[in-house]
Amino acid sequence: MIKEIDLYARQKRLAWFLIMPSVIVVLLIIAYPTIQVLVYSLLKYKLDGVTPPSFVGFDNFAFVLSDPDWWSAVSNTLIFTVVSVVLESILGLMIAMVANSKFKGRTLLRVAILVPWAIPTVVSAQVWKWMVNDIYGVVNIVLTDLHILPEKIAWLATPATALPVIIAVDVWKATPFMALLLLAGLQLIPKDLYEAGSIDGATKVRQFWAITLPLVTPTLLVALIFRTLDALRVFDIFYVMVGGQGNMATMAVYNQQQLISFLDAGVGSATSVIILVIIMLFVILYTRFSRTSFE
Amino acid sequence: MSNNPSPSYGRILSRSFLAAATALLLPTALRAGVTIHFAGDSDVGEGGRWTKVVAEEWAKKTGNTVDYISRPNDASATLQLFQQYWAAKSGDVDVYMIDVIWQGIAAAHAADLKKYVKDDEIKDYFPRIIENNTVKGKLVSLPLYTDAGVLYYRTDLLEKYGYKEPPKTWEELAEMAKKIQDGERQAGKPDFQGFVFEGKASESVTCNAIEWVYSYGGGTIIDPDKKVTINNPKAIKALEAAKSWVGTISPQGVVSYGEEEARNIWQAGNAAFMRNWPYAYALGQDPKSVISGKFAATVLPKGGADGKNAACLGGWQLMVSAYSKNADAAADLARFLCSAEIQKRRAVDLSELPTRPEVYKDPDVLAKNPWFANAVEILNNAIARPSTVTGVDYNQVSTVFFQSVNKVLTGGESSQQAVTDVERVAKRIVR
């Protein structure tokens, strides 16, 4: 009896010893900065190297939450996230199914769909910005030459047209990522299920709803979580294409402006904390949803 | 020695040791100079390449080395970058090229140039700029070149449409621009624009908008006595006028144009009028340019008959970092680049406005830039952005101003709402 306890204690100690390095790394690179951001969010703290920080309680949070620019940033981010992730999932699944079927040049297609994903976002966003330029952009020239548009449009001038353009660029860029993840999921589906389905007389459409979709759902959920969290933190596309326009910021752009442009570590940190909470809400939502759908 | 003509083994050894020692010591002797890290103009434009070459001349002359660091094209982005160096008290950059409005922000991180530049030399610069660059008794930076917003107009097109002189008021400009734009578009130039300016939500539109507001008598956002003045009917009238240009005499996309975007259209011969800085003059008069010899520059129009001529005061300065390890050499580079001789070359090559009155009298400078004769007057009437009263918080005031003005131009906000927003933020800062 005594010996058994001793053994258990020893094993427990060994376990602690073995996970210690990872615990230390996590504490250093995740817990420490997070706690520091929480502390900064309660200070009036200008990074100008002159003013000393002082404690202000929740003033920074009150400032952010009462700033109309913040709420327009939240709404831009949410619209961007929902629309782009839905479109990317649908298109990604379609492309993955094409890439999964057998045909000549399949390898070439699989490589080709990755090209937009491989280009750094800052570069592709700048290229798109030139392409949608109102006077000399190729998009306007083609659309007016084909008489689809009566006259050239300044796409990035107002939120009404800028947001759809940015979503389109993001869909162009991130769909390959979705397609690649979903392709991996599709390849896990045993082929004999489809054979059995055809023998039982199920049409291709029926096979999709009864076999493909349910079996690819776990992969789809993982991909959705990745893309959603990515989209909620979007910065680069917006910064390059419409950077600076007050009503076209995202949560991350707003945060960058407070912290980097205004050197306000207090308000900047408070913004980070609020973004953290919003992203946590999405994570909880997703894990709840994925648990109920699997149990 | 005489009985042994061939050198002994020991001698060979000592000689080779000496040679090795010399080889080791030599680089140290050559290393007398130091390396100055110079964050100058963006080397995408002509100004950056030019500055880089001149800085190299200084390096050759003094036996030092210059490590040229390019900056982003956009002034607001540059400030963000520099602020990170300053917040970290970094000695990685010795000399910074800084905007006229950043003096308050930069002051804590600048070496006092009064220690390196004699009083007599300081007197050679425009007193107004030196005054602007002096924060709490500290000379933060030396004036490299100055800037003022000017109106460019196509002399050939004005003549073609029967106008004898450039517009006196914004209303006249709008009328002329409309007529020329309509005429040119009918003559087979569908992309022709009446007027291009900088409407991008960045420091660019702050400069443009402060000119509109001031020209209509609406003040300069915050007056020198720290009174927030922007919320007034004249300022609203100025913003309404600007809003009416977008989509009529100016392209819709003007709300996303910075200086270079506006100049691209102008220099392609696709605009009748342009508001820009003096640098566009030399580029437009380049023999390869299609508008060479077909345009002139003058003061910006008044806001209505009883308005004022306004030109936003701009310009760039050289600052020596307080964290520089080679402040002496760094200050010497700054002095060299701001010297009368180099300023003359800058004025001839780049048409940038000198910061020393004497250079304006130089015949070579005037031959290349005839309009410099009026430049001193334009500069004397130039309006400063409220950077002195806002100090370290200038960027915050400017940001709310440029974002609000940009919203007005895109139709996202009323002019009344815009000035109210600016007033609210500005009051929080200067109280």
* Polymer length of chain A: 295
In this structure, are A106 and A231 located in the same domain?
yes
How far apart, in whole angstroms, are the C-alpha atoms of residue B94 and residue B109? 11
- Nearest CA to B218 among B231, B204, B205? B231
A37-94: pLDDT as tens digits: 999 999 999 887 777 899 999 999 999 999 888 999 999 999 999 999 999 999 999 9
Average of per-residue pLDDT values in chain B: 89
Question: Please, what is the end-to-end C-alpha distance for chain A in angstroms?
Answer: 39
Placement of tokens 């100058």 in the chain = B40
Q: How many CB pairs under 8 A join A and B?
A: 87
In this structure, are A35 and A67 located in the same domain?
no
A165-215: pLDDT as tens digits: 999 999 999 999 999 999 999 999 998 999 998 898 888 889 899 889 999
How far apart, in whole angstroms, are the C-alpha atoms of residue A205 and residue A225? 27
Output the CA torsion B380→B208→B271→B409 (10° steps).
-160
Q: Give the per-residue pLDDT at B241.
A: 97
Contact A157 B403 (CB under 8 A): no
Q: By the CB < 8 Å criterion, does A211 face chain B? A: no
B355-380: pLDDT as tens digits: 999 999 999 999 998 888 878 878 87
Average of per-residue pLDDT values in chain A: 90
How far apart, in whole angstroms, are the C-alpha atoms of residue B92 and residue B389? 30
Instruction: Give me the amino acid identity at B375.
Output: A
Q: In the structure encoding, which two tokens stand for residue A201, read together?
A: 């007389």
Q: Give the per-residue pLDDT at B5.
A: 46
Query: Which residues on neighbouring strands pair with residue B431, listed in sequence order?
Result: none
In this structure, are A230 and A95 located in the same domain?
yes
| Residue A52 domain flag | no
B123-141: pLDDT as tens digits: 999 988 998 899 989 999 9
Give the domain B35-146+315-376 fold. Answer: D-Maltodextrin-Binding Protein; domain 2 (3.40.190)
Helix axes B394-410, B75-87, angle to 10 degrees: 160
CB B107 within 8 A of CB B135: yes
Q: By the CB < 8 Å criterion, does A120 face chain B? A: no
Provide mean pLDDT across the span B129-158: 94
Interface probe for A, chosen from B73, B252, B420 (most Cβ of A below 10 Å), is: B252
In this structure, are A277 and A210 located in the same domain?
yes
Q: Which chain B residues are Cβ-neighbours of A242 within 8 angstroms?
A: 256
| Residue A45 domain flag | no
CATH number given to B150-312+385-430: 3.40.190.10
Residue B66 main-chain phi, psi, to 5 deg: -115, 130
In this structure, are A112 and A252 located in the same domain?
yes
ipTM over 0.85: no
For A17, the domain range is 1-40
In this structure, are A140 and A101 located in the same domain?
yes
Interface probe for B, chosen from A48, A132, A153 (most Cβ of B below 10 Å), is: A48
Provide mean pLDDT across the span A99-117: 86
How buried is residue A207: exposed, middle or buried, by Cβ count under 10 Å (0-12/13-18/19+)? middle
Q: Give the per-residue pLDDT at B30.
A: 42
In this structure, are A167 and A239 located in the same domain?
yes
* 3-state class (DSSP) for residue A144: helix
Q: By the CB < 8 Å criterion, does A153 face chain B? A: yes
Point out the least confidently predicted range of A1-15, B149-163, B176-190, B211-225.
Answer: A1-15
- Minimal CA separation from B115 to chain A, in Å: 22
Q: Which chain B residues are Cβ-neighbours of A262 within 8 angstroms?
A: 393, 395-396, 399
CB B60 within 8 A of CB B33: no
In this structure, are A15 and A85 located in the same domain?
no
Contact A49 B108 (CB under 8 A): yes
| Residue A3 domain flag | yes
Q: Give the per-residue pLDDT at B33.
A: 84
In this structure, are A212 and A272 located in the same domain?
yes
How far apart, in whole angstroms, are the C-alpha atoms of residue B7 and residue B347? 65
In this structure, are A134 and A280 located in the same domain?
yes
How far apart, in whole angstroms, are the C-alpha atoms of residue A87 and residue A203? 26
In this structure, are A105 and A239 located in the same domain?
yes
| Residue A49 domain flag | no
Question: Above pLDDT 70, what percent of chain B?
Answer: 92
| A289: CATH | 1.10.3720.10
Point out the least confidently predicted range of A232-241, B13-22, B37-46, B271-280.
Answer: B13-22
Domain count, chain A: 2
B406 → closest Cβ in A46, A153, A245: A245
| Residue A53 domain flag | no
CB A175 within 8 A of CB A92: yes
All CATH 3.40.190.10 domain ranges in chain B, comma separated: 35-146+315-376, 150-312+385-430
pLDDT at B18 over 70: no
| Residue A51 domain flag | no
| Residue A2 domain flag | yes
In this structure, are A35 and A68 located in the same domain?
no
Q: Give the per-residue pLDDT at B113.
A: 96
Q: Give the per-residue pLDDT at A232.
A: 95
* 3-state class (DSSP) for residue B314: strand
Q: By the CB < 8 Å criterion, does A135 face chain B? A: yes
Placement of tokens 């991350």 in the chain = A252
pLDDT at B3 over 60: no
